[in-house]
């Protein structure tokens, strides 16, 4: 993607999409392949300047601004010319596995780089990853890349597809490559358990789990499956994508990231899905379902009856964007729908 983030003065509005990981969460932290979908539900920010020298406000509160680690790491990296008043509206439940932190960080970083006169999108990808990573302490660029690029992406040391950018890893690990895959145009259903998860805690737990003798083999198997997933998506082969999702789910259970509420939701969609799996860190959070064609709403109802919150979603083609705010009502975000 070669487009630039345009220059933007205050006040401004930015938008960034959420994400669902289709294959390879956790393994991607170790450089293995993951496939991620940017979702047509995301986060909208409205930002204006404040007079004086204060630390700025988040949804009207100075304390909330100070307590938001993603806000703080972003502002530290790219200090704005004056204190900011930040208003956030998000369709993404927090700690749901749907990339709310990444969408917030990428949306804010787009605004900060816009205020600095604009930037290449690759710079936005790097800066969003750094700010999220610094706030979280662990993790890969999978979530922020989806928020920045939109569409369907592969991420990892190999990353098949049309290359977008490369992001450095620490500890001598290979860099993450990020590439674009085609969007088959399908409708997906996400089911949120309502149980918030803490990504950093689950990622650290998995870090311990893969030190077991079978850990490296499991990571290799996830990598190989995600690479097959890239081929299946390129071929638009719905049955193969679903089969690989089910197989990836078994691997995620072996990694130890399931939760009784995730198991309930998985059972509820069994008969209506081509494929279903945990999406994101797990330990709570959400599942993603590829429904049998025409069964999207029935899948949503099944998730609802099992006590989850369903979202019927498609891939968002566009990544993070910024535009000046000229007053009057703003156009709403790109609109994820609750089933």
For the bound state, the minimum distance from the C-beta of residue 62 to ligand MEV, rounded and expressed in Å, comes to: 30
What is the per-residue burial (b if ≥16 Cβ within 10 Å, else e) of 226-246? bbbbbebbeeeebebbbbbbb
Task: Report how far Cα 126 is from the mean position of its chain's Cα atoms.
Answer: 15
Comparing C-alpha atoms, which of 202, 199, 195 is closest to residue 284?
Answer: 195
| Diameter over CA atoms, the chain | 60
- For residues 36 and 153, is the Cβ–Cβ distance under 8 A? yes
25 scored as a contact of ligand MEV (CB under 6 A): yes
249 scored as a contact of ligand MEV (CB under 6 A): no
* CB closer to ligand MEV, 114 vs 280: 280
Number of residues that bind ligand MEV (CB under 6 A): 13
For the bound state, the minimum distance from the C-beta of residue 130 to ligand MEV, rounded and expressed in Å, comes to: 13
For the bound state, the minimum distance from the C-beta of residue 91 to ligand MEV, rounded and expressed in Å, comes to: 17
Provide CB contacts within 8 A for 34, sequence distance 6+: 21, 23, 24, 25, 27, 28, 140, 142, 154, 155, 156, 226
For the bound state, the minimum distance from the C-beta of residue 281 to ligand MEV, rounded and expressed in Å, comes to: 4
280 scored as a contact of ligand MEV (CB under 6 A): yes
- For residues 228 and 244, is the Cβ–Cβ distance under 8 A? yes
* CB closer to ligand MEV, 112 vs 203: 203
User: Which residue of this chain has its Cβ atom nearest to ligand MEV in the complex?
Assistant: 139
184 vs 290: CA distance, rounded Å: 12
Region of 21-29, 88-96, 106-114, 310-318 interacting with ligand MEV (CB under 6 A)? 21-29
Residues forming a β-bridge with 309: 192
Instruction: Specify whether the backbone of 23 is left (phi greater than 0), alpha (psi in -120 to 50) or beta.
Output: beta
The dihedral through the CA atoms of 65, 67, 68, 71 has a sign that is positive
Within residues 141-170, the interface with ligand MEV by CB under 6 A covers: 142-143
Residues forming a β-bridge with 286: 192, 279
111 vs 122: CA distance, rounded Å: 15
Question: Quick one: CA torsion of 202, 203, 207, 213, rounded to 10 degrees?
Answer: 60
29 scored as a contact of ligand MEV (CB under 6 A): yes
For the bound state, the minimum distance from the C-beta of residue 87 to ligand MEV, rounded and expressed in Å, comes to: 25
String of contacts with ligand MEV for each residue 299-328, x by CB under 6 A: ------------------------------
Region of 24-32, 68-76, 113-121, 189-197 interacting with ligand MEV (CB under 6 A)? 24-32
For the bound state, the minimum distance from the C-beta of residue 32 to ligand MEV, rounded and expressed in Å, comes to: 10
Provide CB contacts within 8 A for 255, sequence distance 6+: 26, 206, 209, 210, 218, 282
Within residues 176-195, the interface with ligand MEV by CB under 6 A covers: none
String of contacts with ligand MEV for each residue 196-225, x by CB under 6 A: ---x---x----------------------
CA distances from 50 to 60, 105, 141, 245 (A): 11, 20, 32, 48
* CB closer to ligand MEV, 103 vs 302: 103
22 scored as a contact of ligand MEV (CB under 6 A): no
The dihedral through the CA atoms of 143, 148, 150, 154 has a sign that is negative
String of contacts with ligand MEV for each residue 103-142, x by CB under 6 A: ------------------------------------xx-x
281 scored as a contact of ligand MEV (CB under 6 A): yes
3-class SS of residue 143: helix
For the bound state, the minimum distance from the C-beta of residue 207 to ligand MEV, rounded and expressed in Å, comes to: 11
93 scored as a contact of ligand MEV (CB under 6 A): no
40 scored as a contact of ligand MEV (CB under 6 A): no
Interface residue list for ligand MEV (CB under 6 A)? 21, 25-26, 28-29, 139-140, 142-143, 199, 203, 280-281
């Amino acid at each position: 993607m070669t487009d630039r983030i345009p220059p933007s003065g205050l006040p401004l509005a930015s938008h960034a999409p959420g994400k669902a990981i289709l294959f390879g969460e956790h393994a991607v932290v170790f450089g293995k392949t993951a496939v991620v979908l940017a979702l047509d539900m995301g986060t909208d920010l409205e930002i204006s300047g404040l007079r004086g020298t204060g630390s700025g406000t988040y949804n009207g509160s100075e304390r909330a601004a100070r307590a938001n680690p993603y806000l703080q790491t972003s502002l530290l990296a790219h200090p704005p010319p004056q204190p900011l008043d930040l208003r956030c509206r998000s369709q993404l439940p927090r700690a749901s596995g749907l990339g709310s932190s990444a969408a917030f960080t990428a949306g804010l970083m787009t605004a900060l780089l816009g205020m600095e006169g604009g930037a290449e999108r690759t710079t936005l990808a790097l800066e969003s990853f750094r700010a999220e990573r610094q706030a979280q302490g662990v993790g890969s660029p999978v979530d922020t890349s989806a928020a920045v690029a939109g569409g369907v992406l592969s991420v990892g040391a190999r990353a098949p597809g049309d290359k977008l950018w490369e992001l450095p890893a620490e500890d001598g690990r290979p860099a993450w490559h990020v590439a674009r895959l085609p969007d088959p145009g399908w409708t997906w259903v996400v089911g949120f358990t309502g149980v918030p998860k803490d990504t950093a805690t689950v990622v650290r737990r998995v870090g311990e789990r893969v030190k077991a003798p079978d850990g490296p083999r499991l990571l290799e198997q996830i990598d190989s499956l995600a690479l097959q997933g890239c081929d299946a998506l390129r071929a638009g082969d719905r049955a193969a994508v679903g089969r690989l999702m089910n197989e990836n789910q078994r691997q995620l259970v072996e990694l130890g990231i399931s939760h009784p509420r995730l198991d309930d939701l998985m059972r509820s969609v069994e008969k209506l899905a081509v494929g279903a799996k945990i999406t994101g860190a797990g330990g709570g959070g959400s599942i993603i379902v590829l429904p049998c064609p025409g069964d999207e709403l029935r899948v949503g109802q099944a998730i609802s009856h099992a006590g989850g919150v369903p979202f019927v979603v498609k891939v968002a083609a566009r990544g993070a964007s910024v535009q000046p705010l000229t007053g009057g009502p703003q156009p709403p975000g790109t609109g994820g729908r609750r089933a």
